[in-house]
Amino acid sequence: MGRLKNIPDVLSPDLLHALSSMGHGDRIVLADANYPARTTCDKGTAKLINCQGHSIPTVLEAILQLFPLDTYVDSPIQFMDLTESDKAAGKKPPKLWSQYTDMCSKAEGRTVKPDLLERFQFYDEAKDAYAVVATGETAQYANIILRKGVI
């Protein structure tokens, strides 16, 4: 595989192609290792991209170097909310959510506010995303949807 200057190694040719092909408002999902990425893509229009050797923060950091977040929506990032049963059991939101929010806010030079989507609503949104990036992230509820902005 050929290499390019100033492109993070974690961004594969398939992922670079997806990022550059997306238009304003298109969405990309960064999925944890438990997420049904193949099934989601098979049931919808999203393309499957394999980044299973990398964590979501690593992939997100690389993407944010090239990818503007949408400024025309209240929440250009979305997380899969905990299920009611996990909330009732006392499970807390993953620490990754604040890390993602901080990373996005820093990259954008503004405060980026996330939105929480119920599990099945997240799956529905993901089916119609431009792509689903399957990562090796092992944290539960680590999934994030990014909405592309304009440059």
Per the annotation, the verdict on 24 as an active-site residue is yes
User: Which H or E element spans position 56?
Assistant: helix 56-64
Whole-number Cα distances in Å, 133 to 10, 17, 24, 151 = 12, 13, 19, 22
Tokens 């192609």 appear where?
A: 17
Per the annotation, the verdict on 54 as an active-site residue is no
Tokens 């806010």 appear where?
A: 105
Per the annotation, the verdict on 102 as an active-site residue is no
Tokens 């807390």 appear where?
A: 92
Q: Which of 54, 70, 130, 141 is catalytic?
A: 70
Backbone angles phi, psi at 148, to 5 degrees: -75, 140
DSSP state at residue 69: B
Closest CA to 15 of 55, 78, 59: 59
Q: Which of 35, 123, 130, 141 is catalytic?
A: 123
User: Which H or E element spans position 60?
Assistant: helix 56-64
Catalytic residues: 24, 70, 123
